[in-house]
Each structure stands twice: as structure tokens, then as C-alpha cells.
């Protein structure tokens, strides 16, 4: 799930594009595919593991493989459109994403499924940035707010309906497909979006586009893999020495990446990520806060789905329905923030959201402790709803507040970097919290006790997010607030 922070550009094309609203519909369809595929495997993962016979790491890789590939691809996805044309790259991404979905749906084993999920993430990273770039060029100033405003309802419906849809598709077992239908459902949507894109999307290309920084992309990819792979596989392999060497090496490669990008700037070449961003306390603090926040948020969702289905023996559909209070709470929190509190409170709103989310997690942990193995959906609802409200209050101002700490000419690189950090945090959360949960189960902890421990780790990550938030600017810039 790629959350973006688009803002209106300074200049617009003289004449609005004729098919701009039809093109917007195509772009929104692509966003729906990405958001659904980021959510549905969380609910379907236990069923997939049981059917394919994979280890516990399969459950983690289903989400981590997708988001790690998305993180790496998003850094350079927008530049591909500048070089080769946004329409062309959108169509390549859409057709590729659809084909990868088909491969997921016909996967014969864990390895094929994980590889197909990685392909989904890579093609998604090619597809999504093109749509945002085209919106900025298709719409005149008086319409661009409405265009970006359409993302809110679409993402809301997808986030609320995604887990329920996944549970329903798995339980319904249409044509004997079971969990495979959660991927196969992308085929008509993806093909329709791609074919409509052929007709309605405009072709824009920047004449001054620079060459790709392939070395930088390679360094980021290696660093991410060296970190995530041992975190997920280490437990099942008994934590051999190489897993710790690999994680340490990932930090070294990240440092090499930063130095390489600095060298490119000194040589007069365009960097993948603007190096000066890392010297800004507000932005660096925002990146670490984003890693902590998104890793905890996604990791908790994954572990909670496993707990409901394997520990409480909920069906996939019941687990999806049980997740509704969190999704609805997120909608409410986001709506409250966008109703004017974001401009009035600024950074304080983000901090309030983190506190509310931590309170909800604490309520959830206490509920699980008091109820034992006999936990009903309605007992879980209050804690989940609070978690959701806190998520909405936090996410609404997050990108705008962090970006207020960079110079206007750095905002493009900073926005892309933050979106990649969001995806990397999601992969890290599936790796760290998933590994913790499965490790506790292997040590004969009950599902309830392991879930409680995961909740307290999430509260710790939220505490870290809260502490780091004091490094952020007090308010967003007026021209970006609310976008």
C-alpha cells in the first residue's frame, strides 16, 4: 500500500486534457489494485500456508516481498516515466501487475508465490508514480483539488472492504479456487484498467529527464535484502552467525549508498535521493519515525490476523469482519484530521494520534489477557477502533509535517524517499513482529501470550515514534497542508 502525498504543481498545461476524468478513473483503478493487494494477504496468509505447506516464513514473505520490492521500485519509478513516457510505463506496470497476479493465482508452491509477489511489487512501483504525475499535468488549477480529493473515498472504501473481501473470497471457494481468487480477481480489474489506459491516458515526457542511477538502485536493493532476509529466515535456521553478519552488512551498504549519492552530486549528476536530506534533523527524524510507525502498524495487523485464525480459530471471513472496527476507526480519524484539525494543531495532531493508537493497543492487549482463548469479535472491537482512529489521526498529517522540514526544491526527492520508507517499514514490520510472534510460539507460549507480547512491542515502537516526533516541524507549509 503506497500512501502518497501529492501536491499541486506550480504550473499547469495551458489547455486541460480532454479525457482527464476518464484517465483519472483508470489511475484510481490502479490505486485500488495496489491497496487491495497490500491488505488481502494479511487475511488469507494462514489459509495459503496450510494449502501450500509452507513454513511460518511464507506468511511473512507474502507481505514483506511485495512491500520490499515496492520500496526499491518507487525510488526510481517516477523517473522511468520521465525517461520513457508516463503512459507507456503505466501500461507496462498495469499489464505486468496483472500478469504477476495470474502467476500468484496459479502458484504451485511457496517459492513461486513469493517470487510472483515480488514481481507484483516491482510492477506496482512502475505503475503508481505515473498516475500521480499525469494528474498534475492533465488538470487545471481549479480542478486538481477535486482530482486528488477522489483518492480519499476510493482508498477508504478499499481499506474498509479489502479484508472483508479477502475473507469472503477465501471462504466462498469459487470454482474450487479458495485463496487463489484473491489474486485472480485482479485479472478483470487490471486488464480493464490497462485497456482503458490505452484509450484515455495522455502521453507526457519531460524533455530534460536524466539517466537512471542504476548503481544507486542496486545498492538500495542489496541493503534491503541483507536486512529483511535474515530477520525472516533466521529463526527457522537457528540464527546462524551469517544472519547477524548480513544485518550488520546492510547498514554498511546503506552508508555506501549515501556516500555514492553524494559523489554523484559532486560530479554534477542527478542523484537517486538528494543527499542533503539526510543532514536535515527534521527529515532524518521523520524517516526513522516513519520506519517505527509503519513497521509496527503493518506488523501488528499481520500478527493479529494470524492470532485470530490460528489461535481463536476464526474463519477468514470472520477475521476480516473482526478487522472492520480498525478500518472504520481509521476512516473516522482521517476524516477528523482533514476537517480542519490538521491545519490548527499541526505536529500536535500527529502526536495525539500516536497516543490514541497506543491506548487502543493497550486496551487490545488487556482484553486478550482477561479473556483468554474465549475472545469474541465485540470484545476486540473497542481496542481495534481506538487503534484505527489513532492511525488516521497520525497518517493524515505525517507526510506534510515531515516535508515541511525540507527546501521546496528537495520536496520531490523527499516525498519519494518517504513513500519508499513507508514500504520498507511495512516489510520490516512483517519481518520483526512476525518473527517475534512465531519465535514465542516455538517456545511454547500460548497464542494469547504471544499476541500480548507483540502488542507491547508495538506500544514501544509507538513510544519511539512519539519521541522522534519532537524533531519534526510544528506545522506543515500552507501550500501543502491537506494534500
Clarify whether residues 115 and 26 are in a common domain.
Answer: yes
Clarify whether residues 416 and 452 are in a common domain.
Answer: yes
In a domain, 2, yes or no: no
Q: Give how far the C-alpha of residue 341 lies from the chain's centroid of Cα atoms, to the nearest Å.
A: 24
User: Closest Cα partner for 34 from 66, 62, 64?
Assistant: 66
pLDDT in tens, 264-276: 888 888 888 888 8
In a domain, 141, yes or no: yes
Per-residue DSSP letters for 240-309?
Answer: -HHHHHHHHHHHHHHHHHHHHHHHHHHTTPPPSS-GGGGG-HHHHHHHHHHHHHHHHHHHHHHHHHHIII
Clarify whether residues 42 and 114 are in a common domain.
Answer: yes
Clarify whether residues 62 and 18 are in a common domain.
Answer: yes
Clarify whether residues 410 and 281 are in a common domain.
Answer: yes
Instruction: Tell me if 200 sits within 8 A of 193, measured CB to CB.
Output: no
pLDDT in tens, 85-135: 888 999 999 999 999 999 999 999 999 999 999 999 999 999 988 887 788
Clarify whether residues 218 and 353 are in a common domain.
Answer: no
Clarify whether residues 432 and 471 are in a common domain.
Answer: yes
In a domain, 420, yes or no: yes
Cα(379)–Cα(372) distance, integer angstroms: 12
In a domain, 424, yes or no: yes
Clarify whether residues 311 and 428 are in a common domain.
Answer: yes
Cα(424)–Cα(286) distance, integer angstroms: 14
Among the listed ranges 194-203, 212-221, 342-351, 401-410, which one has the minimum average pLDDT value? 401-410
User: Closest Cα partner for 6 from 133, 185, 190, 92?
Assistant: 133
- Domain of 339, in residue numbers: 276-483
In a domain, 1, yes or no: no
Clarify whether residues 252 and 367 are in a common domain.
Answer: no
In a domain, 130, yes or no: yes
Cα(274)–Cα(251) distance, integer angstroms: 19
Clarify whether residues 331 and 443 are in a common domain.
Answer: yes
Clarify whether residues 357 and 429 are in a common domain.
Answer: yes
Cα dihedral across residues 93, 97, 154, 381: positive or negative? negative
Among the listed ranges 9-13, 52-56, 159-163, 206-210, which one has the minimum average pLDDT value? 9-13
Instruction: Point out the domain boundary residue: 229, 252, 269.
Output: 269
Clarify whether residues 102 and 200 are in a common domain.
Answer: yes
In a domain, 396, yes or no: yes
- Residue 396 sits in a domain of what CATH number? 1.20.1250.20
- CA of 412: how far to CAs of 48, 231, 406, 408, 419, in Å? 39, 31, 10, 8, 11
Across the range 273-292, mean pLDDT stands at: 87
What domain count does the chain have?
A: 3
Whole-structure pTM value: 0.87
Cell output for 15: 489547455
In a domain, 344, yes or no: yes
Cα(23)–Cα(19) distance, integer angstroms: 6
Residue 65 has pLDDT above 50, yes or no: yes
Q: Residue 156, class by beta-carbon neighbours within 10 Å (0-12 exposed, 13-18 middle, 19+ buried)?
A: middle
Instruction: Tally the C-alpha atoms within 13 A of residue 483's C-alpha that lie toward its C-beta.
Output: 21
Amino acid at each position: 500500500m503506497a500512501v502518497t502525498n501529492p501536491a499541486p504543481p506550480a504550473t499547469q498545461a495551458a489547455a486541460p486534457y480532454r479525457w482527464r476524468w476518464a484517465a483519472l478513473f483508470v489511475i484510481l483503478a490502479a490505486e485500488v489494485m495496489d491497496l487491495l493487494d497490500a491488505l488481502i494477504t494479511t487475511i488469507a496468509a494462514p489459509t495459503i500456508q496450510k494449502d501450500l505447506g509452507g513454513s511460518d516464513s511464507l506468511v511473512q514473505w507474502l507481505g514483506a516481498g511485495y512491500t520490499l520490492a515496492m520500496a526499491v521500485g518507487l525510488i526510481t519509478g517516477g523517473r522511468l516515466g520521465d525517461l520513457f513516457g508516463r503512459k507507456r510505463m503505466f501500461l507496462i506496470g498495469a499489464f505486468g501487475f496483472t500478469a504477476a497476479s495470474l502467476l500468484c493465482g496459479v502458484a504451485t508452491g511457496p517459492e513461486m508465490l513469493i517470487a510472483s509477489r515480488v514481481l507484483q511489487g516491482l510492477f506496482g512501483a512502475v505503475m503508481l508514480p505515473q498516475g500521480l504525475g499525469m494528474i498534475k499535468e492533465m488538470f487545471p488549477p481549479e480542478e486538481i483539488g477535486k482530482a486528488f480529493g477522489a483518492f480519499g473515498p476510493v482508498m477508504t472504501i478499499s481499506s474498509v472492504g479489502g479484508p472483508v473481501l479477502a475473507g469472503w473470497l477465501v471462504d466462498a471457494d469459487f470454482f474450487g479456487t479458495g485463496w487463489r481468487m484473491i489474486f485472480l480477481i485482479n485479472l478483470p480489474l487490471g486488464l480493464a484498467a490497462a485497456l482503458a489506459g490505452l484509450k484515455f491516458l495522455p502521453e507526457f515526457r519531460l524533455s530534460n529527464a536524466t539517466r537512471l542511477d542504476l548503481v544507486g538502485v542496486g545498492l538500495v536493493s542489496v541493503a534491503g535484502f541483507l536486512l529483511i532476509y535474515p530477520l525472516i529466515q533466521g529463526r527457522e535456521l537457528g540464527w546462524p552467525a551469517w544472519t547477524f553478519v548480513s544485518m550488520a552488512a546492510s547498514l554498511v551498504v546503506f552508508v555506501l549508498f549515501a556516500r555514492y549519492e553524494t559523489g554523484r552530486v559532486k560530479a554534477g549528476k542527478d542523484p537517486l535521493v538528494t543527499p542533503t536530506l539526510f543532514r536535515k534533523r527534521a527529515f532524518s527524524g521523520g524517516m526513522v519515525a516513519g520506519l517505527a510507525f509503519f513497521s509496527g502498524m503493518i506488523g501488528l495487523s499481520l500478527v493479529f490476523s494470524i492470532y485470530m485464525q490460528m489461535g481463536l480459530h476464526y474463519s477468514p471471513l470472520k477475521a476480516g469482519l473482526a478487522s472492520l472496527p480498525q478500518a472504520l476507526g481509521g476512516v473516522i480519524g482521517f476524516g477528523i484530521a482533514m476537517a480542519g484539525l490538521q491545519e490548527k494543531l499541526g505536529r500536535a495532531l500527529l502526536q495525539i494520534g500516536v497516543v490514541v493508537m497506543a491506548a487502543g493497543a493497550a486496551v487490545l492487549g488487556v482484553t486478550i489477557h482477561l479473556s483468554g482463548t474465549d475472545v469474541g469479535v465485540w470484545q476486540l472491537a473497542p481496542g481495534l477502533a481506538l487503534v484505527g482512529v489513532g492511525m488516521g489521526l497520525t497518517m493524515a498529517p505525517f507526510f506534510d509535517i515531515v516535508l515541511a522540514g525540507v527546501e521546496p526544491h528537495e520536496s520531490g526527492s523527499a516525498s519519494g524517499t518517504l513513500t519508499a520508507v513507508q514500504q520498507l517499514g511495512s516489510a520490516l514490520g512483517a519481518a520483526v513482529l512476525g518473527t517475534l510472534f512465531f519465535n514465542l510460539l516455538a517456545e511454547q507460549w500460548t497464542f494469547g501470550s504471544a499476541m500480548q507480547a507483540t502488542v507491547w512491542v508495538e506500544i514501544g515502537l509507538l513510544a519511539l515514534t512519539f519521541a522522534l516526533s519532537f524533531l519534526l516541524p510544528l506545522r506543515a507549509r500552507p501550500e501543502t497542508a491537506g494534500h
